[in-house]
């Protein structure tokens, strides 16, 4: 890794690096990825160990504070988060301004951004206490907003947070409980939900995190920055991939059609890609995909859907792709999204909510990265350069001479 400022001075060299594949935009001590080997760690802890032994609140604390919490620190942290789970009642009224068939991500971008209009104290980014309160507020309120977006889309009344439940249980209840009907939380489903949140919590300088950092580098308030991250995450090449995996599986329809579909991908017909495969950084198995695959089997077993045709099709597709020369030579392996959509659908989420769940989980990564950036004394406004390909200087053409 070369720090070009040391070699060439402030403006001595421009690198042209579309998609920033070889450009480090920041230093960070939060998340480490070795894409060739397939390693992901948060603050030095392997994702597999965190998914197996910790819950999402512990991982949130780890990302924000740098260490795994003691029991006392965890209890204190959970108290801080649950204190903020409610939304101002006026924010709840925002939802009725959206069309009922609006994509919940569109609603998320709007409502999360609007939090800055309600929590003025948290917009003081120079006060460390307010930075932490803003982080807690976002981690606490984003699931409430996400569940409300869902409830609004299906025409059901909002279900308010219940703070004695775990983060995942509370989210499931706010999403699926219906007044006057008993809602029982399946512990296997709650555990899987918690794992999905852990696996999506942070992933160093991906597109949405870089968007959050870029927005924050101008001094914009944290709510505005996270809304920008949500907008970026929405794209099918990023957070929308698990939704795209289910569409692809539906299009393939039957395992007899896999070979034809793979042929279409390999010949790049209509730019077809195998969704849920490939990653900018991982050129090996995404370690999150292995955990997700196992969790997928556990959930489907618990829900009595072991023979779910979608899961069977996905497993067959994975097997065929992993033994195909094209995928081997391009180092294309399943990523975290290949199996997450199947679990989410089995739990009962509509596909339009998949990216929303990703946003709920990633909020902690975004705020941890945003805080790290603001607290970095070398931080300055993000401002990439460009390779100009337009006209050179030319004489101005008056209106009556233009063709």
The whole-angstrom separation of Cα 314 and Cα 244 is 13
C-beta separation of 369 from 320 below 8 A = no
User: Of residues 55, 194, 286, 337, which has the active-site annotation?
Assistant: 337
Residue 112: CB partners within 8 Å, gap ≥ 6? 138, 142, 145, 223, 226, 227, 230
Q: How far is the CB of 402 from ligand ACO (least distance, A)?
A: 40
Query: 337 an active-site residue?
Result: yes
Q: In this structure, what token pair is assigned to residue 369?
A: 């990265």
Per rule CB under 6 A, count of chain residues that contact ligand ACO? 18
Long-range interactions of 321-326: CB distance < 8 A, separation 24+: 321/262, 321/274, 321/277, 324/262, 324/266, 326/262, 326/265, 326/266
By CB under 6 A, is residue 330 in contact with ligand ACO? yes
Q: How many whole angstroms separate alpha carbon 151 and alpha carbon 179?
A: 12
Residue 237 lies near ligand ACO (rule: CB under 6 A): yes
**Minimum distance of ligand ACO from residue 289's CB (angstroms):** 9
Residue numbers 266-325 binding ligand ACO by CB under 6 A: 273-280
- The CB-of-257 to ligand ACO minimum distance in angstroms stands at 17
Q: Is 241 in the site for ligand ACO (CB under 6 A)?
A: yes
Q: CB of residue 188 vs ligand ACO: minimum separation in angstroms?
A: 24
Q: Could you say whether residue 238 binds ligand ACO (CB under 6 A)?
A: yes
Which DSSP state fits 334? B
The minimum distance between CB 128 and ligand ACO, in angstroms, equals 31
- Residue 151 or 213 with smaller CB distance to ligand ACO: 213
Say whether residue 332 binds ligand ACO (CB under 6 A). yes
Q: In this complex, which beta carbon is closest to ligand ACO, that of residue 220 or of residue 317? A: 317
**Catalytic position from the list 42, 200, 203, 279:** 279
- Those residues whose C-beta lies under 8 Å from the C-beta of residue 53, and which sit 6 or more positions away, are none
* Total Cβ atoms within 10 A of residue 138: 24
β-pair partners for 39: 34
Least separation in angstroms between residue 146's CB and ligand ACO is: 17
Return d(Cα 53, Cα 203) in angstroms, integer.
Answer: 19
- CA-based end-to-end distance of the chain: 51
Question: Which window, 217-225, 237-245, 311-319, 362-370, contacts ligand ACO (CB under 6 A)?
Answer: 237-245
* CB-nearest residue to ligand ACO: 278
> In sequence order, what DSSP letters do the residues of 1-56 get, joined into one string?
---HHHHH-TTS-----GGGTT------SSEEEETTTTEEEETTEEHHHHHHH--H
Residue 335 in contact with ligand ACO, rule: CB under 6 A:
yes
Closest to ligand ACO by CB, 57 or 265: 265
Q: Is 88 a catalytic residue?
A: no
Stretch that binds ligand ACO, among 219-227, 294-302, 327-335, 344-352 (CB under 6 A): 327-335
| Chain residues 205-234 in contact with ligand ACO, contact rule CB under 6 A | none
Give the footprint of ligand ACO on this chain (CB under 6 A). Answer: 19, 237-238, 241, 265, 273-280, 330, 332, 335-337
Could you list the active site residues?
Answer: 279, 337
């Amino acid at each position: 890794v070369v720090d070009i400022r040391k070699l060439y001075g402030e403006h001595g060299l421009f690198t042209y690096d579309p998609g920033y594949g070889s450009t480090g935009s920041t230093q960070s001590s939060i998340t480490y990825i070795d894409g060739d080997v397939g390693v992901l760690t948060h603050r030095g802890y392997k994702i597999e160990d965190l998914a197996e032994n910790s819950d999402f609140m512990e991982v949130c604390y780890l990302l924000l504070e740098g260490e795994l919490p003691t029991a006392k620190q965890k209890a204190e942290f959970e108290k801080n988060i649950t204190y903020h789970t409610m939304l101002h009642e006026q924010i709840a009224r925002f939802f009725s301004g959206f069309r009922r068939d609006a994509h919940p991500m569109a609603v998320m971008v709007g409502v999360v951004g609007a939090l800055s209009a309600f929590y003025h104290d948290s917009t003081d980014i120079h006060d460390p206490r307010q930075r932490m309160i803003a982080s807690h507020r976002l981690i606490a309120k984003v699931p409430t907003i996400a569940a409300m977006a869902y409830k609004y889309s299906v025409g059901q009344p909002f279900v308010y947070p219940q703070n004695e439940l775990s983060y995942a249980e509370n989210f499931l209840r706010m999403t699926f409980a219906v007044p006057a009907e008993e809602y029982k939380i399946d512990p296997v489903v709650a555990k899987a939900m918690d794992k999905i949140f852990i696996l999506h919590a942070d992933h160093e300088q991906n597109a949405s995190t870089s968007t959050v950092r870029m927005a924050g580098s101008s001094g914009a308030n944290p709510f505005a920055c996270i809304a920008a991250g949500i907008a970026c995450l929405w794209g099918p090449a990023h957070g929308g991939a698990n939704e795209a995996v289910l569409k692809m599986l539906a299009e393939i329809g039957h395992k007899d059609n896999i070979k034809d579909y793979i042929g279409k991908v390999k010949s790049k017909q209509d730019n077809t890609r195998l969704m849920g495969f490939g990653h900018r950084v991982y050129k090996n198995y995404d370690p999150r995909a292995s955990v997700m695959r196992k969790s997928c089997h556990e959930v489907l077993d618990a829900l009595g859907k072991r023979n779910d045709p979608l899961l069977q099709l996905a497993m067959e597709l994975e097997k065929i792709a992993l033994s195909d020369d094209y995928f081997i030579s391009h180092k294309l392996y399943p990523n975290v999204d290949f199996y997450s959509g199947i679990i989410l659908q089995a739990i009962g989420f509509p596909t339009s909510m998949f990216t929303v769940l990703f946003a709920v989980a990633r909020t902690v990564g975004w705020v941890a990265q945003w805080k790290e950036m603001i607290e970095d004394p070398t931080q300055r406004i993000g401002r990439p350069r460009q390779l100009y390909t337009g006209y050179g200087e030319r004489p101005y053409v008056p209106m009556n001479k233009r063709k």
